[in-house]
A and B are shown apart, each in its own frame.
Chain A
Amino acid sequence: MAMLEVQNLSISFGGLRAVSHFDLAVERGEIRGLIGPNGSGKTTLFNIITGFYPPSEGTVHFQGEDVTRLKPHQIAAKGITRTFQNVQIFSGMSVVENLQVGHHMSIKTNLLGAAFATGRITGQEKRSLRKAEELLRRIGLEELSARPAGSLPFGQQRKVEVLRAVAMEPKLLLLDEPTSGLSVSEKDEMAQFMKWLREEFSITILLVEHDVRLVARVADYITAMDFGQKIAEGRPEEVLSDRKVLEAYIGAEKSSGSN
């Protein structure tokens, strides 16, 4: 069984079927690209997998376990986390603290231990701080450590958001358009960064991305969606030359050009 198995997943909002009988299987260690025009249901699918929306039909299995109706924090406890299309950084906290929130589940602190700062707790806190700073150093952002995250330029906020997710040491990471709003060179960096994440931390990545060339470069396989349904799946070059995919994109571009 694949690491992530989505079966026959559907959800409707009002009369609209945002995701319809959708199947997806992602293997361990894979980088899977998920493409499709705006409104094709990619983010909705993310929201179902990470527990923000309950599906009206279908199941999500992770490592053989049914996680369909778990809450977001329970999904995180299973080893799945995500980033967001519009960056969701903790703007009032420093960069290093943002990363430390990623350690939330690995630090065991009860209220009394925290209040009296027992030795065990301070030890854990110190380790957490060191680990977070080490992660920043490896990506060359150590001088940003103490900066309020909200004061960073957009591109760096995106990186911090991804690093925060990495700090959680997830098994599966869902990235929702991690390069939207980035410059060309920043996009390149992000692409390198994703490959690095897989090699260094052996994280499996499910990636929603609009930049088709970028997906083709980083993803092992691509799944294409339109109107909540799967329209193509396979190696990047196959999917990107698929007639249905091209139609979906050209069709979408026509309609988006008119508004």
Chain B
Amino acid sequence: MGKPVFSNRWKIGILVLLGVLLLFYPKMVGRYWAFVLILAGCYFLGALGYNILVGLAGQVSFGQAAFFGIGAYASSLLMLRLNVPAWAAVLLAGFLAGFIAYPIGIPALKISGHYLALVTLAFSEGIVVIFREWVSMTEGPYGLRVPTGTFGPWVLKGEPLYYFVLVIIVMLAITAHNITRSRIGRAFKAIRDGEVAASSLGINLMNYKAIAFALSGFYTGVGGALLALATGCLMPWDFDFRLTVALLGMVVVGGLRSTILGSALGAVLLTYFPEWTGKLLEVKELMFGLLLLFCFLFLRGGIVGGLISLKNKMQNTKIGAKLFET
């Protein structure tokens, strides 16, 4: 738990393997599947932001799509109207989403549960209305064309885009990992597990709830900004309640108690899922529903939670004890 980042050889081995795989992935599978992984990466950041709020800090929110949309529109408009370079536009869009999310944490002090869910949902749908109606800025229902970004000599399409997204995601995942292990991450978890006890140990509830929302907005906003770069076109309704449900699905399937790994597995699985079931288009949503139901019923901790309990069970056997020696 509080141990240093890489406490055992297994983790290092798996990370190195994963790193090599990600590095050569576009060469191995070609453009299309590399693009699918880019999308999964963008949703990963969306889910990561959501997981920080819901899984780590225990706050209810149904407005995550708004932060994704704010990130997407803000970075695109910065590039389009102000010629801000892509990398800066992505980061600035993330900060803007975080800045807008911050004050939502303040009512969270007074209202919680269902009411907070409704407030965040209303906020989110309101943002969609702004995207749709502010035509002079966002092109509204006509769709906003996102300029192709550049980074130094590289045009951000295909492989360069893949590596651009990969680097940003890895850097952000590391920062998120560090934050969850700092006193800030512990304060989030303390608020999740018991607000009253948390405050009696000196944790300022209002402050930390607002920080949780801001961080959540930031990561999700960067995800949206990267998605805009990848897809090249934004429609207001891409960021309505359905996106929130999709992101929540990723968080639940991956694992609420595993901020980074869980969000990543959930995002990858649910992004690839429709690709695999593509031929069965009509049953796609049914399959999604069944998958969620399965997780609620049998896999409460999501994939990561399931793996951990499997590991605990195997440790009690002879082979398992050797395998998981630490």
Contacts and interface: CB of A to CB of B under 8 A. Distances in A.
Interface string B181-225: 111111101101110111111111100000100010000000000
A97 B1 contact: yes
A121 B196 CA distance: 27
Given A73-B205, A90-B193, A103 B199 contact: no
Contacts of A91: 193
B194 A88 contact: yes
Q: How large is the interface on B (under 10, 10 to 19, 20 to 34, 35 or more residues)?
A: 20 to 34
Given A73-B202, A115-B175, A90 B194 contact: yes
A38 interface: no
B182 A114 contact: yes
A50 B193 CA distance: 19
Contact of A92 (B175, B179, B181, B189): B189
Interface in B125-153: none
B203 A104 contact: yes
Interface in A97-155: 97, 100-105, 107, 109, 111, 113-117, 121, 125, 128-129, 132, 146
Interface residues of A, number: 44
B178 A88 contact: no
A84 interface: yes
A50 B200 contact: yes
A91, A93, A168 — which one has the most chain B CB atoms within 10 A of its CB? A93
Contacts, number: 112
A111 B181 CA distance: 12
A82 interface: yes
Contact of A88 (B2, B182, B186, B196): B196
A82 B178 CA distance: 30
B190, B197, B202, B211 — which one has the most chain A CB atoms within 10 A of its CB? B202
A66 B108 CA distance: 29
Contacts of B204: 71, 73
B203 to A, nearest CB: 6
Contacts of A82: 200
A89 interface: yes
A124 B194 CA distance: 24
A81 B196 CA distance: 11
Given A72-B199, A88-B196, 18 more contacts: A72-B196, A72-B200, A73-B199, A73-B203, A81-B201, A81-B202, A92-B192, A92-B193, A93-B193, A97-B1, A100-B186, A105-B201, A109-B184, A113-B182, A114-B179, A117-B178, A125-B181, A125-B182
Interface of B: 1-2, 175-176, 178-179, 181-187, 189-190, 192-194, 196-205, 211, 215, 257
10 contacts: A71-B204, A76-B199, A81-B200, A90-B190, A90-B197, A92-B192, A104-B203, A105-B202, A111-B179, A117-B178
